[in-house]
Amino acid sequence: MQPGEEIESLVGELEQIVSEGKTPFAAGGQKKIVDAQDVYEILDEIRRVFPQEFADARRIVKEESETLERAQQQADAIIADAQQQAMILAGDQEVVRLAQQQADDIRDRASQYERDTRYNAEEYADTVLAHLEDNLKSLTNSVGRVRQTLDENSGPRNQTNNVPW
């Protein structure tokens, strides 16, 4: 399941509960009677899923960071190899010059690979986090609509102990 899909599904369930709610006889079409227990169960499930979404995003960023670290280690190993080969061939100036040029080329390619990998990892993490942010906004809007619907359906509340007088 893609990041946020479970939350989107739960928000859809909330919307369905509200849309299927009964309209009170004397109220307009905007007020609905819904089973509060069903709404609370879905909200609890959403709260349970959120930490997993964040953990998934952190895991993806960590994996990309580890990939970058491995790429840097490979680049360092290639450079060390090239430098050692250059030292072995140090007897001849032309061979040394060519080896240094090759080491520089390898270093440049490794640096470019590191930059490309880092850019791709950051782009991927940004995409995942943007998707998560969109889902959070959607969820916040949906929760606001459900709360507004509940407020409209239940009338004014006693703020001290929620017991009508």
> Is the separation of the CB atoms in 60 and 125 below 8 Å?
yes
Average pLDDT, the chain: 82
Which pLDDT belongs to residue 1? 61
3-state secondary structure of 76: helix
> Is the separation of the CB atoms in 39 and 81 below 8 Å?
no
Residues of the chain with pLDDT under 50: 165
Which pLDDT belongs to residue 104? 93
Which pLDDT belongs to residue 163? 52
Which pLDDT belongs to residue 90? 65
> Is the separation of the CB atoms in 90 and 80 below 8 Å?
no
